[in-house]
Structure 1
């Protein structure tokens, strides 16, 4: 999701082009989704406030640690995600090595 200011308010958008190629979600994802910030801001802030309220913060931190340390507690695609991260890191190392050897990186327009 990325912020997208408009004249009548802030929107968050999720363009399909940002999804990973070959993603199972890609086939059913609309070209772009726009969500007005004011419609969800209070609910999200309330939820975050609840999670990190002094009475709940220990449980929230414990849940975060559990999901970080126990792959079985993570989504079933954990191994697939670990492989994607490793592959991406390898590609980044190759790109960095190419740049260090004098290859001119592409210039991205904004």
Structure 2
């Protein structure tokens, strides 16, 4: 379950997941010559049963989302969020600029400008708008999800 997340405190090495006596364990193999060279008091092999790790981790969400702590937890989570306002403002400015360019190109075409170059420019502008919109989609999605207008 925890595969690459378990480290042995004594040596700082990642523990390997394996099965021992039919149950999942994590082990740290540290040859005695390494321990001697690194001046660490480390057994050759250390085993930790996975069920010893699951208990505290399973109870953690219940603790932090307990009714007595929910306000504090939600405030902490909100404070940890990144400020997306600058990215959102940048996306809005970019989209507005490309909308202005498209409007100018359309007006020029309607006024009789050379259609071949106008269409090329118009197509290029449309591609730029699509690119900007795709690049900044997550910003708009995030704003909609949070219910803010930025």
Same structural fold, with TM-score higher than 0.5 when normalized by the shorter chain: no
**TM bin (shorter chain):** 0.3 to 0.5
Structure having the higher helix fraction is 2
Relative to total residues, which structure has the larger strand share, 1 or 2? Answer: 1
Structure whose CA Rg is larger: 2
Compute the TM-score of the two structures, normalised by the length of structure 2: 0.28
